[in-house]
Amino acid sequence: MPSTPNTMERENFATKFGVLVAMAGSAIGLGNLWRFPYLVGSYGGAAFIFVYIICVFVLCLPILFSEVIVGRRSHANAFGAFKKLAPGSRWKWLGALSVLTPLIIVSYYSVVGGWGVEYFFKSVTFEFTDGMTQSQLGTLFSSFTSSVWAPLMGHTIFLLMTALIVISGVKSGIEKFGKVMMPMLFVLIVIIAVRAVTLPGAAEGLAYLFKPDFSKIDASVCSAALGQAFFSLSLGMGTMLTYGSYVSKKENIAASSSYTAISDTIFALLASCAIMPAVFAFGLDPEEGPSLVFETLPFIFSNMSLGAFVAILFFLALIVAALTSSISLYEVVVAYLVEEKHYTRKGAAILVFVVAWVLGILCSLSFGPLSEFRIFGQTVFNLFDKLSANFLMPLGGLLIVIFVGWVMKKSDVIDEFTNGGSLKANVRVSGFVYFLIRYICPLAVLAVFLTALIF
Ligand code: PHE
């Protein structure tokens, strides 16, 4: 229920480490553990990784700077930011897009998060221990996702956990959770990666990941790599903008953003090291696609020594990573409702829960009873996934660099990037970064956006 106008002071992240874990927590998620490894497998291994790394550091990092600059400059939610920085203009529609996109993503993201919850329970009850075959595990996955109640249960639990963390607030919810969970996540993934690379026969998988065959690079590899970089860094919607608005004026946003991109990339590589060597060691197909994590990995777990425990660790890591990302999506909409529509934080969280829960139910059922229900030829789940990743995120990213590069005053952008000129290292690179934001990023994103639309 809307309450009286909210006059509360805005919260900020309390510490530098808090800023980093929140931003890295948003970036590191299902995109790293589930999407990145299967794309690496589908697009030729090391060559894809090579292009991906260039996309992250040359194109996406300046976009990340741009979002955080808009957030911290305005100290407002994703909608309010554009009203504040460009009053009375049509840029408020970019604000509206920045609030709508996360709402769509959080609803299907929590369905996949819910699969993670189910697979965690399966691993805790040692369902993957008895040397099951890959086809048995394939059937297990498809009969689970196409059923009605079990995936809905997972979706509900996952979304509820997200809501509870967000209700606790920026400092005592998001920041606190991230501070405990992110370091744990790194430890977990390192343990799993070490186990995987020491399997007999793992060397072939490592060569696949780190010895690029440059002849494999073509337009589709580039567009998939840039799209993945967008998804993985949580760009093109209000997420990093909203988190940027909770960063205090004394923090170095260029440093926090760079550390976020670096840790996100390291994490994606660690996840691949956890998965690919094992895929090769067991003679499986790296081109398995989106089911890689839920079908291939349980097969590996059920056939390796200590696999039952590695499975528990892995699915725990998956849930934690997905949660720190989904809270960042959720927070965008909650911040908007609290600041623009004067909801209480709790009221806003409940409203978002109801909407995302209902949309998520449609996504979940689209693997079973609603699989024949199509919009533009797509199931609801695929529509949400494609619409956001291939259309709404690149569109939002394109518009935000145009906003920062062409609408905001250059002096304001540089001022925000360098903390009024006091951060000397930032001053030195600011001209180059501004050039990337103004010219290179819009052109490159436009190119990918059009490729995605055409193909
Ligand atoms: N970056 C997250 C991941 O890799 C997904 C995400 C996208 C989160 C957009 C927030 C916003 O899983």
Ligand 1 pocket member 107 (CB < 6 A) = no
Q: Residue 141 pLDDT > 60, yes or no?
A: yes
Q: What is the per-residue pLDDT across 225-234, written as a single tens digit (0 to 9) for each?
A: 888 898 999 9
Phi, psi of 98 (to 5 degrees): -70, -20
How far is ligand 1, taken at its centre, from the CA of residue 90, in Å? Answer: 27
Confidence of residue 163 (pLDDT cuts 50, 70, 90): very high
pTM: 0.92
**How high is the mean pLDDT of the chain?**
90
Q: Is 29 in the pocket of ligand 1 (CB under 6 A)?
A: yes
When pLDDT is averaged across residues 81-97 and rounded to a whole number, the result is: 95
Tell me, in angstroms, the distance from the centre of ligand 1 to residue 60's CA: 14
- CA 233 – ligand 1 centroid, Å: 6
**Lowest mean pLDDT across 73-77, 93-97, 385-389, 430-434:** 385-389
Q: Give the C-alpha separation, 343 to 358, whole Å.
A: 20
Residue 263 is predicted with a pLDDT of: 96
Nearest CA to ligand 1 atom 11: 234
- Taking the centre of ligand 1 as the mean of its atom positions, its distance from the CA of residue 109, in whole angstroms, is 9
How many whole angstroms separate alpha carbon 333 and alpha carbon 328? 9
CA of 91 to the centre of ligand 1 (A): 24
Q: How far is the CA of 231 from the centre of ligand 1 (A)?
A: 5
CA dihedral 401, 402, 406, 410 (to 10 degrees): -10
The dihedral over CA atoms of 326, 327, 333, 337, expressed in degrees to the nearest 10, equals: 160
Asked whether 232 lines ligand 1 (CB < 6 A), one says: yes
pLDDT at 145: 93
- What's residue 266's pLDDT? 96
Residue 163 CB–ligand 1 contact under 6 Å = no
Confidence of residue 241 (pLDDT cuts 50, 70, 90): very high
Closest ligand 1 atom number to CA of residue 29? 12
For residue 124, pLDDT beyond 50 = yes
Lowest mean pLDDT segment, chosen from 93-102, 110-119, 216-225, 364-373: 216-225
Total domains in the fold of the chain? 1
User: In which band, very low, low, confident or very high, does the pLDDT at 1 lie, cut at 50, 70 and 90?
Assistant: very low
Which of ligand 1's atoms lies nearest the C-alpha of 236? Answer: 9
Helix axes 203-210, 253-281, angle to 10 degrees: 140
Whole-angstrom distance, CA of residue 369 vs CA of residue 122: 24
> Which residues make beta-bridge pairs with 375?
378
**Confidence check: pLDDT of 450 > 90:** no
CA of 396 relative to ligand 1 center, distance in Å = 14
Give residue 11 CA to ligand 1 midpoint distance, Å. 23
Q: Is 44 left (phi over 0), alpha (psi -120 to 50) or beta?
A: left
Higher pLDDT, 91 or 178: 91
Q: How close is the Cα of 110 to the center of ligand 1, in Å?
A: 12
> Does the pLDDT value for residue 3 go beyond 60?
no
Distance 134 CA to ligand 1 centre (A): 29
Burial 366-392 (b: 16+ CB within 10 A, else e): bbbebeeeeeeeebbbbbbbebbbbeb
**Residue that has been written with the tokens 């790394």 in this structure:** 53
Ligand 1 pocket member 110 (CB < 6 A) = no
| 32 touches ligand 1 (CB under 6 Å) | yes
Please indicate whether residue 18, judged by its CB atom, sits closer than 6 Å to ligand 1.
no
**C-beta of 236 in contact with ligand 1 (< 6 A):** no
Looking at residue 372, what is its pLDDT? Answer: 92
At residue 455, the pLDDT reads 61
Nearest-CA residue for ligand 1 atom 7 is 234
Q: What is the pLDDT of residue 121?
A: 95
pLDDT one-digit tens code per residue, 389-447: 778 988 999 999 999 999 999 999 999 999 999 999 999 999 999 999 999 999 998 98
Locate 100 and state its tokens: 């709508």
Residue 373: which CATH number?
1.20.1740.10
Mean pLDDT for the stretch of residues 219-228? 85
The model's confidence at residue 9, banded by pLDDT at 50, 70 and 90, is: low
Whether 239 is in the pocket of ligand 1, judged by its Cβ within 6 Å, is yes
Q: How confident is the model at residue 2 (pLDDT cuts 50, 70, 90)?
A: very low
Return the higher-pLDDT residue of 206 and 182. Answer: 206
Decide if pLDDT at 27 tops 90: yes
What is the per-residue pLDDT for 380? 94
What pLDDT score does 452 carry?
64
pLDDT of residue 5: 40
Burial class (CB in 10 A: 0-12, 13-18, 19+), 33: buried
User: Closest residue (by CA) to atom 10 of ligand 1?
Assistant: 234
Summarize the confidence of residues 188-212 as an average pLDDT: 89
Instruction: Check pLDDT > 90 for residue 290.
Output: no
Question: Is the C-beta atom of 329 inside 6 A of ligand 1?
Answer: yes
Q: What is the pLDDT of residues 345-374, one digit of tens each?
A: 999 999 999 999 999 999 999 999 999 999
Per-residue confidence band for 149, with pLDDT thresholds at 50, 70 and 90: very high
Mutate to test the pocket of ligand 1, among 23, 26, 64 (most ligand atoms within 8 A of CB): 26
Kindly indicate the confidence band of residue 127, based on its pLDDT and cuts at 50, 70 and 90: confident
- pLDDT at position 154 is 97
pLDDT at 6: 42
How far apart are the C-alpha atoms of 72 and 420, rounded to whole Å? 13
d(CA 134, CA 140): 10
Determine whether the shortest distance from the Cβ of 31 to ligand 1 is under 6 A.
Answer: yes
DSSP string, 57-70: IIIIHHHHHHHHHH
Q: Which domain does 346 fall in, by range?
A: 5-454
Lowest mean pLDDT across 80-89, 184-193, 397-406: 184-193
Please give the pLDDT value at position 15: 87
What's the CA-to-centroid distance between 3 and ligand 1, angstroms? 31
The dihedrals phi and psi of 13, each to the nearest 5 degrees, come to -65, 140
Q: Calculate mean pLDDT across residues 111-127.
A: 93
As given in the structure block, the two tokens for residue 202 are 């793992």
State which of 328, 388, 390, 391 you would mutate to test the pocket of ligand 1, scoring each by most atoms of that ligand within 8 A of its C-beta. 328
Q: How far apart are CA 85 and CA 94, in angstroms?
A: 12
Contacts of 70 (CB under 8 A, 6+ apart): 81, 82, 85, 241, 244, 400, 403, 404, 408
- For helices 253-281 and 16-27, angle between their N-to-C axes, nearest 10 degrees: 40
